[in-house]
Structure 1
């Protein structure tokens, strides 16, 4: 009996230690996130004003505002999502619902995983070679958006696949048993149920696209362009590249540093708002699925 008690106590101690380590790690990550956010807020809040958000940059970007960079970033996010989200979702539906298990499916999945691990600067070089030079789009929102779309395509495919896998097979079997076709089952039963989780891929993609610098450096970003783009074939400023330039320009260091922190804060706010909107969309469709 004493041996059993000792073993039970040992298991409980081991369990408490393990939970303690996991809790400490989790809270440390959250604390680190808040430290970073607090640092950016404290350093950047002084630069934030209506003029900073709404005006054009002046005097080599050490004065004025960042409005063209905000608009350019939003245009790039929109262009990349219009390209990547439908293609990624359709590719995942094909892989999960139509391709049978075997070596072709394994190869496609492996290539998708490998594509997700390619450095972003490689995507930038590829986008410059294909979209800017070969297809003749030039340095433009279209070239930048397509490059960023390729960058996040593996993320959307994998998250959509996981969302589709989470749908119980009984829904598919019941639909097919009632005489529905494979496509009707997928489009009217499986996809609506999985859609709230598919939005997760959209959220992750928006966050990554918003902060990428290397791909837009080769395909769209302008150093100093105090005007708004009028078409998808125009160059544009973007917040990540703007942040990089004013942080490394070396002119009027104090003013540049203040603008850099302010730009970083605006970028974080844009990503946060985008994520909140996407989460709201996910909750909305999640409630519709439960009601149906």
Structure 2
């Protein structure tokens, strides 16, 4: 149990740092690591579902810590958060609930493909049209619903999709990261509820699991990430984000490849 808990704590440190730094929620790291760890420590056919559901639950805590840190720099665009949140909540709840209809291999492959796409986007760093602006309320609601559903389904917290979406519409990188951290909270709230409901009647769940949330992993990760996420968030406003995005993009490719053969 000590080795298992140590893995969860280390995962929380790494995921919390990048969640605060890049506004990504941490799930891109948490899900592959938990999926691998659960193969050794748990005996259940719901490995990927538990990894994703647990990831969503941890993002609830990580997001709060990141928001507090980013708010000190007055970097969060609350006007954007307010317009995206209704769609995010709807999509997030749907994504978490619908996960029960996918088998573990399918979920793992969906996650891997999305992670690869995000990694390529980070590495290429394509620039938007300088005249592009955020669309109106209706289009933002559709975008929020899509982001919430996909993010919840694969447990990535929303920031990995929200940040590129905002940057593509010429929101500054630092504001996009901070705002994405804030948007991760409604994604995680709806997604966690969806995974609780979706896994409520699942059979062959391990001890200490409620629905698709495995509490030992949850507590190990949040204890570490809660204290580390503010450090990453503070460094967002000091370090060269472009270089860090490239390093993180390479890490995502490695983790995505691993998910194809979890």
On whether the aligned pair clears a TM of 0.5, the verdict is: no
Structure of larger gyration radius: 1
Greater relative CO (CA pairs within 8 A, separation 6+):
2
Query: Which TM-score applies when normalising by structure 2?
Result: 0.28
Taking structure 1 as the reference length, the TM-score comes to 0.26
